[in-house]
Structure 1
Amino acid sequence: MSLNVETKQTTPYEGQKPGTSGLRKKVKVFTQPNYTENFVQCILEANGTALVGSTLVVGGDGRYYCKEAAELIIRICAGNGVAKLLVGQNGILSTPAVSSLIRHNKALGGIVLTASHNPGGPENDFGIKFNCENGGPAPDAFTNKIYQLSTTIKAYTLVPSLQIDISKVGVSNYDIGGKPFVVEVIDSVANYVRHMEEIFDFGKLHDFVSGKSNGKPLKMRIDSMNGVTGAYVREIFLNRLGATEASVVHTTPLPDFGGLHPDPNLTYAKDLVETVAKGDYDIGAAFDGDGDRNMIIGSKAFFVTPSDSLAVIAHYLDAIPYFQKNGVQGFARSMPTASAVDLVGKKLGKEVFEVPTGWKYFGNLMDAGRLCLCGEESFGTGSNHIREKDGIWAVLAWISVMQHTGKSIEDILKQHWSVYGRNYFTRYDYEECDLEPCNEMMATMEKNITAAEFVGKSFSSEGKTYKVKEADNFSYTDPVDKSLATKQGLRIVFDDGSRIVMRLSGTGSSGATVRLYIDSYEKQNVLGQASVMLKPLIDIALEISQLPKFTGRNAPTVIT
């Protein structure tokens, strides 16, 4: 029986402009009449003629409204000429898994249902983003096209009578107006696990984790924070690598993440930090809601900054079979990320790129063969195996380094600093601030730091003096396609390489999140306390930005 396509009239909603990684709003916004339908229709139309007869991947992090949105997207795709959908069971797929599936199946792209590290539940956040055919987040030109379409949309098409149970793995075939339409509900984990087995030596890691190689099992505490990674963690660390059941926690994906805030940092992964701080574990790790971010801590909760994590993995890439086979190309980091990896790249004779915040900026460099490892200070690390950051991949990389060196995480870092020096780094987040004064703050600060007399000016605090070498609003010209990204964050660089960076985040769902980044390089004094070493620059940053005055905040929401 042929199912009929119907056209529904609609009107535009304001503000459907994708941010750094998709559109994020409160659930109550997405569940307004036609709101989700409008945005999905605009995603599909932005693909132009390539959409008809294409294959798309659909899945998300399991948060509230994820399953319902996945079923709605199936009906809209059916009405727009898509030939085949690969849908995660129950609508669940980690963001790295979506990227892997797109690439392995040569799909046109994927619709990812996630608000990443933002809290879930009926009163909290939901999000939708589109990943294109290379598996990475859609570039600016594509998301701008989605937004333009959203301002003029008049109708969307769907097959309202198409009902499918996405809780069961299997293939369903439909006739949509005389054309075939296939929905394949897939095991959410299988493809990703096979991919990890191709990258790492699971046999060697099994012997290390289980203790078979040295008689001493690796004591792990892996926290999925009730996000999407639970099933992936259980299959990889328990079933494949031989860890014990006690090694993993919060592995059941929940619509509200069990009340947890699925952001893997020292504030929101407090349970992990306090547990590992007792000294019973060799490594602790946490992931965000959709599985692309990670936090690594060593014994007694020794914290590894994302900047240092990227640099250490870069130094030890020869410990991972994937890079032994495919070679090592360049490295890259987001502009706010401390420049620890730059020093590794220089020593190894590799290109190092500094790009705006947003994983999409790494994709062109990877596709051009100039980049194999990259990271962001917001707990994102990944390689060219996919086009997304990948939390579980990062933990497997760290365990590979531990196995390769025979050292603890703390000793690995101390050895690294003794060779390269240390980039002390912190980030202050001021969440859900009023947008208007924040915009005024950024405009005022930009005017002040780009004035001719600002370069050469000196600032002093706590007995330390810093002289301004350069200051700007960061812009980036893509080396591959020459596209230009402007106004990517205010930065002040001092003579000694220390930096102050200020941005308004593009990943919040309401208000404004102000991010203040401070980093300072030390060649000799590498074992100091970060908060002490960075206090002079933090005080200077607050003075220059007048942040307390504009935001009304005397302290950040989160410090990492």
Structure 2
Amino acid sequence: MHERAGTPAQPQDLIDVDSLLGDYYDLIPDPTIAEQQVVFGTSGHRGSAADTAFNEAHIVATTAAIVEYRNAQGTDGPLFLGIDTHALSGPAMETAVEVLAAAEVEVRVDARGGFTPTPAVSRAILVANGAADEAGLRTSGPGLADGIVVTPSHNPPRDGGFKYNPPHGGPADSTATAWIANRANELLAKNGWKHVKRIPYTRAKNATTVRPYDFMAAYIAELPKVLDLDAIRDGGVRIGADPLGGAAVDYWGAVADEHRLDLTVVNPEVDPRWSFMTLDWDGKIRMDCSSPYAMASLRTLMDGAEAPYDIATGNDADADRHGIVTRDGSLMNPNHYLAAAIHYLHSGARPQWRDDARIGKTLVSSSLIDRVGKRLGRPVEEVPVGFKWFVPGLMSGDVTFGGEESAGASFLTREGRVWTTDKDGLIMCLLAAEMTGATGKTPSQIHAGLVNDLGDSWYARLDAVATKAQKETLKKLSPSQVRATELAGQEITGKLTEAPGNGAAIGGLKVTTADAWFAARPSGTEDVYKIYAESFVSADHLEQVKDAAQKVVAEALDS
């Protein structure tokens, strides 16, 4: 823990924006160096121009690869392009438009010249492909739309990010991203990216194929389809929304105006240095709305009997994540909010949802969700980490709600149709206000009721050092390599390397007992593996589970 975690950023913590932008254009990656290659994680390619990991060459090559990929897939409709507020997002967007215009791709850019949350891009793709029509969503045939979002999500200000959403509107699967990354790296080799056809941005932005699209108006107008906004108004719920300097900055005020909500934008400032932020746990500026340190200012605002709002909310830079602060100044643990939201939505709030539809959760999310599902009589589908696993179910209506432990989720419209197939931090924030207005209880009070009925749990995540070879071994473990028979004093009841919900490889290991579990997965960017653990016994028992987890994994890696 950094000594200044949770305190305001100081001048020495801020990036030099001009230097970073200079690096974007001046530094040329060496594709023989792994750290300078295009690598797609669960949410696209990320890196810093200062590290020669997110530069003009990367974006030229990646955009050209996306053009080739969509051509090969027969995707010939409009490509919706959105950006967040990171310093590198603007130049990366311009580079992408230069390549897309030269390739005569129909591009839709923000009509206001502003920023676009990830969920607004996802919704635009789905609507273009028929999600709002009676005939329903199309996933094949001519004229299908897709999209690019230029964002590194909650990453520090020095980073950039670039992700592709195919016609289903959600994150591209590993087959697509592997193809795109491989082709992009081929173009980086021997300076092949320099031969990619481009049109200078001053001309490209005025090309007949590059047209404006009002993402904000389209998204906000449809919010009553997915939320009971009357419950918020009639309940007199006061909302304080903090976009944390991200892409939702103009959306929140427009939501308040159009839907007549008692909603105040707590901080409308946009600064690519994020000078107004408090430092995260490690002393870095990070727009992580699930971190109590990054959300320290909002927590302080809500602490005490005279809190100005009933619900305060935060979003990350592309607004695909949510943070919920209730009247006592507490930032809800993402797992606690997911459980409370799932319970509320499936307890009469959405009567048109199918009774046989499933609840989706990642395998590192709290088991309280499983207990809530059992109480509701709803099946819970447990999938590997990554929102892409929820896409098929959300599209078909077979999954009502998909949620990740990292504060990302989306759910169906009130009629039971697809809303977004990417995480939507805006509707998750507004849902907290709906829950408060409809029930008279805050989400934290609803969670407390669940704990009283179903048991309290203690949850944690930690990182452990691992070599690259050990990380590869961890990815490919089999249950037979786990020799332990008990975990923190309890008999092991399950050793999983595949997700129970869909049989997909989890890229790691999950071990369960009657009252606890842990999961271990290798990091995609650092020489560590991540351990997630939960106990329904006590905080002390959780510590035992964490210690035992490291021993179990170490033994398996040495086997």
* TM-score, normalised relative to structure 2: 0.78
CA drift of 1:232 comes to 1.5
1:115 counterpart (144, 152, 173): 152
* Alpha-carbon distance in structure 1 between the residues aligned to 2:326 and 2:457: 18
Cα distance per residue 1:507-547 (max 9 Å; x no partner): x5xx346432111235xxxxxxx745623323333454569
Aligned-partner Cα distance in 1 for 2:536–2:361: 16
| Structure 2 CA distance for aligned equivalents of residues 445 and 128 of structure 1 | 25
- Contact 2:64 2:196 (8 Å CA) reproduced: yes
1:46 maps to 69
What SS does the aligned partner of 2:490 have? Answer: strand
Superposition map of 1:19-98 within 5 A? 19-28=41-50, 29=52, 32=55, 34-50=57-73, 53-87=76-110, 89-90=112-113, 92-98=115-121
| Native 8 Å contact 1:78 1:159 kept in 2 | yes
Q: Is 2:165 the partner of 1:128?
A: no
Does structure 2 conserve the Cα–Cα contact (< 8 Å) formed by 1:71 and 1:164?
no
Matched residue, 1:405: 439
The residue number in structure 2 matching 1:184 is 211
Aligned to 1:226: 245
The residue identity in structure 2 corresponding to 1:272 is L
2:483 — aligned with what?
Answer: 453
Q: CA deviation at 1:19?
A: 0.7
Q: Which amino acid aligns with 1:253?
A: V
Q: Distance in 1 between matches of 2:547 and 2:300?
A: 29
Aligned-partner Cα distance in 2 for 1:379–1:241: 27
Measure the CA separation in 1 of the matches of 2:534 and 2:116: 35
Q: Which residue of 1 aligns with 2:454?
A: 420
For the pair 1:492 / 2:511, whether they are aligned, the reply is yes
2:359: which partner in 1? Answer: 331
2:150–2:161 CA contact under 8 A, matched in 1: yes
Any residues of structure 2 matched to 1:348-363 within 5 Å, and which?
A: 348-363=376-391
- 1:277 is aligned to 303
Q: Please give the alpha-carbon distance, in whole angstroms, between the structure 1 residues aligned to 2:234 and 2:444.
A: 22
Distance 1:452 1:94 in 2: 42
Q: CA deviation at 1:236?
A: 1.8
CA contact (8 A) 1:380 1:391 kept: yes
Q: CA offsets, 1:334-364, max 9 Å, x none?
A: 1111122222322333231111111111112
- The alpha carbon displacement at 1:45 in A equals 1.1
2:340 and 2:443 in contact (8 A); partners too: no
Question: How far is 1:144 from its partner?
Answer: 1.4
Check whether the contact 1:305–1:425 (CA below 8 A) recurs between aligned residues.
no
Contact 2:227–2:427 under 8 Å retained in 1: no
Deviates more, 1:54-63 or 1:273-282: 273-282
Preserved contact between residue 280 and residue 300 of structure 1 (Cα < 8 Å): no
Are positions 1:541 and 2:549 aligned together? yes
In the alignment, the residues of structure 1 paired with residue 252 and residue 292 of structure 2 have an alpha-carbon distance, to the nearest angstrom, of 21
- Residues 64-104 of structure 1 deviation map (CA, whole Å, 9 limit, x = unaligned): 12122212211211222313434464352101111011111
Distance 1:72 1:538 in 2: 45
Distance 1:469 1:477 in 2: 14
Letter in 1 for 2:387: W
Q: Does 1:263 align with 2:281?
A: no
Partner of 1:240: 259
| 1:368 matches 2:368 | no
How far apart are the structure 2 equivalents of 1:393 and 1:320? 18
Matched, 1:305 2:333: yes
Contact 2:487 2:545 in 1 (8 A): no
Quick one: distance in 2 between partners of 1:31 and 1:442?
25
Root-mean-square deviation (CA), in Å? 3.1
Q: How far does residue 164 in structure 1 lie from its aligned partner after superposition?
A: 5.7
Q: Name the structure 2 match of 1:437.
A: 467
Q: Which residue identity is paired with 2:340?
A: V
Q: Extract unaligned runs of 5+ from structure 2.
A: 1-28, 130-143, 278-285, 413-418
Structure 1: give runs of 5+ residues left out of the alignment: 1-9, 167-171, 175-180, 212-217, 460-464, 523-529, 551-560
Identity %: 23
Greater fraction strand: 1
1:141 Cα deviation from its structure 2 partner: 1.0
The answer on 1:198 being equivalent to 2:225 is yes
Per the TM alignment, residue 407 of structure 1 is displaced from its structure 2 partner at its CA by 1.8
Distance 2:544 2:75 in 1: 58
**Distance verdict in 2 for CA 1:273–1:540, change over 3 Å:** farther
- For this pair of structures, how many residues does the alignment match? 487
Aligned partners of 1:88, 1:112: CA distance in 2, in Å? Answer: 15
The answer on whether the counterparts of 1:449 and 1:471 sit within 8 Å (CA) in structure 2 is: yes
The answer to whether the Cα contact below 8 Å between 1:109 and 1:131 also exists between their aligned partners in 2 is: yes
Cα displacement string for residues 15-36 of structure 1 (whole angstroms, at most 9, x for unaligned residues): 3121111001113335545221
- Between the aligned partners of 2:438 and 2:333, the Cα distance in structure 1 is 21
| Cα distance in 2, alignment partners of residues 31 and 408 from structure 1 | 42
Change in 2 beyond 3 A, CA 1:320/1:69: farther
Alpha-carbon distance change, 444 to 404 in structure 1, aligned in 2, over 3 angstroms: closer
CA contact (8 A) 2:99 2:196 kept: yes
Distance of aligned partners of 1:445 and 1:69 in 2 relative to their CA distance in 1, 3 Å threshold: closer
Note the C-alpha offset of 1:251. Answer: 2.6
CA contact (8 A) 1:320 1:397 kept: no
Query: Is the contact made by 2:47 and 2:54 (CA closer than 8 Å) also made in structure 1?
Result: no
